[in-house]
A and B are shown apart, each in its own frame.
Chain A
Amino acid sequence: MSAVPDFALHPVWWLALGLAGLGVGIVGGMFGVGGNFLLIPILNVGFGVPISIAVGTSLCQIIGTGVAALMRHQRLRQGEIKIDWIMLLGGLMGASAGANLLGTLATRGSLDIAGHSIPTAKFVLAVIYVVLLSVVAFWMIRDARMRPAGAPLTSGPLTRIALPPMTWLPAAERRMSVPVIAWLGLLLGFLSGLVGMGGGVLLMPILIFGIGVRVRMAAGTGILALVVSAVAGTWAHARLGHVDLRIAMMLLIGSTLGAAVGATITSRMDGQRLRGLFGWLVLITACAVLWDLLRTLRVL
């Protein structure tokens, strides 16, 4: 299966791809996310790349941004590394399972919904996307309205699950259940392999709202586990023929430049406003995916 549609042999298509990477990189640099939640719909809806290849290729691209982030945060000593190590094995297993499930869905042909045909993989992923992104958007917008910049976070609900063994997280100043962290790693790894996202858009809210980790610490936490998940997911997707390395590298070049620009913009903005903006961006993305799904089903 070729990722590049017939109309994409023109150099302008590749230039547009690089610009898309630049845009996603700017967003990623502004909000501290990898941007796959934005990139995958752009590739699938905007560039006509099949959904399974959009997911696999995006995971491949995230290895580059993830390694750069890891180096940076290690130097700045930000993040709770214990969470990374506990999530690692679950992330590996989950990513492989998610990638193989997507591979299976991609071979299932099409679903007939209300008399209209839609690829099974596209339908399942679109529903997951809309639900996940809507929930995250709700929490981010609500938090931005209710909690001003600099206001402290309270201990999150996940820290109240007293399933032994428990462990002290020094950087987060919390005690947490080791099995809960491990299961989180498995879940996020699975979502990473299946839908290609799990980093900033899912892990960050879980760390901040679910556990109560400070934002600066949360930004540096989980990157190792997510990179490992991305590697495992990329391996599985690459073997299935779901990774187009040319597209991934073109996106990576653009996003690397964009991230530097985005970080500069962020340094001049208020944290509360940033959280609200991010929430709205995630919500817009969810609406775009829903719109594309309804258009495919001829509802719109």
Chain B
Amino acid sequence: MRTISYAIACIVLPALWGLAAAWIYDRIAARRARHMPDEDDSADMYHI
């Protein structure tokens, strides 16, 4: 049986990583849109 703090870490750490990944990807997409405005950014990167 694992502790509650470990269970919380198992949820919070991946979630934080996901938020960071989404933020980085959006920054990259925004930069690409500035340099190549005609490119379609509606392509899905992540979905489950």
Does A241 lie at the interface of the complex (its beta carbon under 8 Å from any beta carbon of B)? yes
Binding-face segment, A71-79, A142-150, A151-159, A179-187: A71-79
B42 proximity list for chain A (CB < 8 A): 76, 78, 216
Bound complex: CA A259 to CA B15 (Å)? 16
**Which residue of chain A is the closest to B44 with respect to CB atoms?**
A219
Bound complex: CA A238 to CA B23 (Å)? 27
In the complex, are the beta carbons of B19 and A239 less than 8 A apart?
Answer: no
CB within 8 Å of A: which B7-38 residues: 7, 9-11, 13-15, 17-19, 21-23, 25-26
In the complex, are the beta carbons of B2 and A239 less than 8 A apart?
Answer: yes
A284 to chain B, nearest CB (A): 20
Bound complex: CA A223 to CA B18 (Å)? 13
B15 proximity list for chain A (CB < 8 A): 63-64, 67
In the complex, are the beta carbons of A67 and B44 less than 8 A apart?
Answer: no
In the complex, are the beta carbons of B17 and A231 less than 8 A apart?
Answer: no
In the complex, are the beta carbons of B48 and A66 less than 8 A apart?
Answer: yes
Interface size on B, residues (CB 8 A): 26
Does A206 lie at the interface of the complex (its beta carbon under 8 Å from any beta carbon of B)? no
In the complex, are the beta carbons of B9 and A64 less than 8 A apart?
Answer: no
Query: Among the listed A73, A234, A249, A267, which residue makes an inter-chain contact with B47, where contact means beta carbons less than 8 Å apart?
Result: A73
Does A62 lie at the interface of the complex (its beta carbon under 8 Å from any beta carbon of B)? yes
Query: Among the listed A64, A76, A240, A266, which residue makes an inter-chain contact with B17, where contact means beta carbons less than 8 Å apart?
Result: A64
Binding-face segment, A26-34, A86-94, A291-299: A26-34
Does A61 lie at the interface of the complex (its beta carbon under 8 Å from any beta carbon of B)? yes
Query: Among the listed B2, B6, B22, B47, which residue makes an inter-chain contact with A32, where contact means beta carbons less than 8 Å apart?
Result: B47
In the complex, are the beta carbons of A238 and B10 less than 8 A apart?
Answer: yes
In the complex, are the beta carbons of A29 and B48 less than 8 A apart?
Answer: no
In the complex, are the beta carbons of B7 and A64 less than 8 A apart?
Answer: no
Bound complex: CA A70 to CA B25 (Å)? 13
A60 proximity list for chain B (CB < 8 A): 10-11, 14
A76 to chain B, nearest CB (A): 6
Does A68 lie at the interface of the complex (its beta carbon under 8 Å from any beta carbon of B)? yes
In the complex, are the beta carbons of A69 and B46 less than 8 A apart?
Answer: yes
In the complex with contacts A245-B9, A256-B17, A34-B48 CB distance below 8 A? yes
A73 proximity list for chain B (CB < 8 A): 44, 46-47
In the complex, are the beta carbons of B7 and A29 less than 8 A apart?
Answer: no
Bound complex: CA A101 to CA B19 (Å)? 31
Bound complex: CA A70 to CA B10 (Å)? 19
In the complex, are the beta carbons of A200 and B45 less than 8 A apart?
Answer: no
B14 proximity list for chain A (CB < 8 A): 60-61, 63-64, 67, 248-249, 252
Query: Among the listed B7, B17, B25, which residue makes an inter-chain contact with A238, where contact means beta carbons less than 8 Å apart?
Result: B7
B9 to chain A, nearest CB (A): 6
23 intermolecular pairs with C-beta atoms under 8 Å apart? A29-B45, A33-B48, A63-B15, A67-B14, A68-B21, A68-B22, A69-B46, A70-B22, A72-B26, A73-B46, A73-B47, A76-B42, A200-B47, A220-B44, A226-B48, A234-B11, A238-B2, A248-B10, A252-B17, A253-B17, A256-B21, A259-B45, A263-B45
Residues of B within 8 A of A (CB): 1-2, 4, 6-7, 9-11, 13-15, 17-19, 21-23, 25-26, 42-48
The 3 closest A-B pairs by CB, nearest first: A67-B18, A199-B48, A71-B22
Q: A60-B10, A66-B18, A260-B25 are in contact. List 16 more A-B contacts (CB 8 A).
A: A32-B48, A64-B15, A64-B18, A68-B25, A69-B45, A69-B48, A75-B26, A199-B48, A223-B48, A231-B11, A239-B1, A239-B2, A240-B2, A241-B1, A243-B7, A263-B45
